[in-house]
């Protein structure tokens, strides 16, 4: 018999005008994909799940190598307190980089960690390939320290906890 192929269902929660009308850390859930079952059954690449173990709403940016071998830095995924989300990230590279912040100024970053990288982010939704200069596209750009995590298999769950 043939292999069963899974269909990736994109759920659009934000309209085009919603994306551009938000000022402070709009969240990437507008392009959420349901890919957990596909990734679990496909050993050729890894997926990413984000888990918020904190009571505060957080926003997360991720840097990863996509399936075309381009480094991509993208954000923002929004996670309400004590929630989780499966992202549309797919990678064959075992190194993933994360940066997160809440609306009160607390950050989960790579300051002082081995393997950390400084990357550009913007308060708006963004998607940058191969370290594109976000200053060419956005007025508010900052450099943040992303921490590195190594994927071991299937879907990597990155958890964020309060202090």
Instruction: Express each pLDDT in 76-115 by its tens digit.
Output: 999 999 999 999 999 999 999 999 999 899 999 999 999 9
Segment 102-161, tens digit of pLDDT: 989 999 999 999 999 999 999 999 999 987 889 888 889 999 999 999 998 899 999 999
Residue 1 within any structural domain of the chain: no
End-to-end CA distance of the chain: 52
pTM flag (> 0.85): no
- Please tell me the distance from the alpha carbon of residue 152 to that of residue 163, in angstroms, as a whole number: 26
Q: Can you tell me whether residue 22 is helix, strand or coil? A: coil
Segment 7-43, tens digit of pLDDT: 222 222 222 223 333 333 444 544 444 444 444 455 6
Domain count along the chain: 1
- Please tell me the distance from the alpha carbon of residue 25 to that of residue 76, in angstroms, as a whole number: 7
Residue 3 within any structural domain of the chain: no
What are 38's strand-pairing partners?
none
Instruction: Give the structural domain span for 77.
Output: 9-160
Residue 66 within any structural domain of the chain: yes
Which run of H or E residues covers position 145? strand 142-150
Residue 4 within any structural domain of the chain: no
- Please tell me the distance from the alpha carbon of residue 136 to that of residue 147, in angstroms, as a whole number: 25
Burial of 109 (0-12, 13-18, 19+ CB in 10 A): middle
- Please tell me the distance from the alpha carbon of residue 129 to that of residue 81, in angstroms, as a whole number: 30
Pairing of strands 107-108, 95-102: antiparallel
Segment 53-77, tens digit of pLDDT: 999 999 999 999 999 999 999 999 9
Residue 2 within any structural domain of the chain: no
| pLDDT of the residue at 149 | 97
Residue 150 within any structural domain of the chain: yes
């Amino acid at each position: 018999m043939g292999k069963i192929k899974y269909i990736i269902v994109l759920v659009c929660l934000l309209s085009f005008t919603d994306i551009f009308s938000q000022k402070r850390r709009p969240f990437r859930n507008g392009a959420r994909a349901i890919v957990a079952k596909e990734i679990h059954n496909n050993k050729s690449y890894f997926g990413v799940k984000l888990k918020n173990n904190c009571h505060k709403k957080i926003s997360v940016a991720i840097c990863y190598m996509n399936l075309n071998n381009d480094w991509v830095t993208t954000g923002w995924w929004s996670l309400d307190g004590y929630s989780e989300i499966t992202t549309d990230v797919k990678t064959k590279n075992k190194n993933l980089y994360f940066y997160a912040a809440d609306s009160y100024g607390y950050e989960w970053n790579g300051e002082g960690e081995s393997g950390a990288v400084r990357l550009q982010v913007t308060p708006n939704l963004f998607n940058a390939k191969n370290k594109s200069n976000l200053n060419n596209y956005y007025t508010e750009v900052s450099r943040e320290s992303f921490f590195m995590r190594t994927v071991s298999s299937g879907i990597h769950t990155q958890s964020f906890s309060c202090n």
